[in-house]
């Protein structure tokens, strides 16, 4: 039965894309470079984080706060140099087969280079097929145009907008929050309708100028 797979004890997750590996993040992955992501205005804006400084110890605590069973913290690593370049958080509700995903590309040199397109195919295949989940959900602040662009490009449905829902940590204004979802069936239908995009994703599109 598909739901039972999501309830099994946590094995480390490893998902391979052509140029990138997505895997369970561990406290040993917390570097000063990783900590510095959370001092960037664009990351704070995307995640609506308050402007406090975060230490390495804070971030090790953050990594440890994930049970890596129903609450996963996954790193995206460049295979060419081993660099941690992005994150996924995945909150699984096994009983109803739903998972809530957040993502950020922390390394600025890797943004808008096709990274998210490259990981899309293996990431969704893993959670829909290997884990047997039925629906993926995401929320996006109305100010976060990059993530909205990505969601709209890859088959998601905007189900609802919660008006003036979230207080901006940057300036105190109230921001609309968009609620998106995509079912396993909708993802299959999107792939069938977009064979060229699927082929490009499968080849890998990463065009990053690698910083190390
Ligand atoms: C949003 C994010 C996850 C997208 O990942 P990515 O690897 O950079 O995205 P890709 O290069 O694979 O692009 C996929 C699609 O996402 C959308 N997109 C990505 N970056 C975008 C941007 N800056 N503006 C508008 N749309 C964007 C586009 O639809 C793009 O498809 P296209 O290249 O054919 O136009 C990533 O850029 C990120 O985490 N950025 C930091 C957060 C941020 O800047 N937030 C905005 C401030 S609130």
Atom of ligand 1 nearest to the CA of 103: 3
pLDDT value of position 5: 52
Q: How far apart are CA 176 and CA 200, in angstroms?
A: 33
Q: What is the distance in A from the centroid of ligand 1 to the CA of 114?
A: 8
Largest CA distance in the chain: 48
> What's the 148 CA to ligand 1 centre distance in angstroms?
8
Whether 107 maps to a domain, the answer reads yes
Quote the crossing angle between the two packed helices 115-125 and 195-203, to the nearest 10°: 100
> Which pLDDT does position 46 carry in this prediction?
79
- Is 82 inside a domain boundary? yes
- Domain assignment present for 20: yes
Question: Over the stretch 156-197, which tens digit does the pLDDT of each residue have?
Answer: 999 999 999 999 988 899 999 999 999 999 999 999 999 999
Range of the domain at 103: 2-203
- 136 occurs within a structural domain: yes
pLDDT for the residue numbered 64: 96
Nearest to 175 by CA among 144, 150, 151: 144
Higher pLDDT, 46 or 115: 115
pTM given for the model: 0.93
The answer to whether residue 209 sits within a structural domain is no
Confidence of residue 211 (pLDDT cuts 50, 70, 90): confident
The pLDDT assigned to 204 comes to 85
Higher confidence at residue 205 or residue 109?
109
Any domain includes 210: no
Looking at the predicted structure, is the pLDDT value of residue 209 above 90?
Answer: no
Q: Token digits for 113? A: 């280079």
How far, in Å, is the centroid of ligand 1 from the Cα of 146?
4
- Establish whether residue 143 lines the binding site of ligand 1, counting it when its CB lies within 6 angstroms of any ligand atom: yes
Q: What is the pLDDT of residue 79?
A: 95
CATH of the domain at 150: 3.40.630.30
**Is 3's pLDDT higher than 60?**
no
The answer to whether residue 212 sits within a structural domain is no
Strand locations in the chain (E): 14-16, 20-24, 71-78, 84-93, 98-105, 135-141, 157-167, 174-183
Taking the centre of ligand 1 as the mean of its atom positions, its distance from the CA of residue 107, in whole angstroms, is 12
Distance CA 140, CA 103 (A): 10
Chain segment 66-107, per-residue pLDDT in tens: 999 999 999 999 999 999 999 999 999 999 999 999 999 999
Ligand 1 proximity of 210 Cβ (cutoff 6 Å) = no
* 151 or 44, greater pLDDT: 151
Ligand 1 atom 18: residue of nearest CA: 146
Number of domains observed in the structure of the chain: 1
- Give domain status of residue 211, yes or no: no
Average the pLDDT over 28-33 and give the result. 97
What pLDDT does 170 receive? Answer: 86
pLDDT of residue 51: 85
């Amino acid at each position: 039965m598909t739901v039972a797979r999501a309830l099994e004890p946590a094995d480390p997750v490893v998902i391979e894309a052509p140029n990138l590996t997505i895997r369970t993040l561990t406290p040993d992955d917390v570097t000063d470079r990783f900590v510095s992501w959370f001092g960037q205005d664009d990351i704070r804006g995307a995640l609506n984080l308050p402007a406090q400084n975060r230490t390495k110890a804070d971030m090790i605590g953050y990594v440890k706060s994930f049970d890596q069973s129903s609450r996963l913290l996954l790193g995206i690593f460049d295979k060419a140099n081993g660099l941690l370049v992005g994150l996924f958080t995945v909150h699984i509700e096994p009983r109803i087969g739903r998972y809530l995903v957040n993502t950020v590309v922390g390394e600025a040199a890797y943004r808008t280079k096709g990274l998210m397109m490259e990981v899309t195919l293996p990431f969704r295949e893993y959670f829909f097929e290997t884990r047997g989940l039925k629906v993926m959900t995401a929320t996006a602040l109305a100010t976060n145009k990059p993530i909205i662009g990505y969601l709209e490009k890859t088959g998601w449905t905007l189900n609802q907008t919660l008006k003036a829902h979230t207080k901006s940590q940057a300036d105190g204004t109230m921001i609309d929050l968009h609620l998106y979802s995509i079912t396993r069936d909708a993802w299959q239908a999107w792939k069938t309708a977009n064979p060229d995009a699927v082929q490009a994703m499968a080849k890998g599109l990463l065009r990053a100028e690698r910083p190390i």
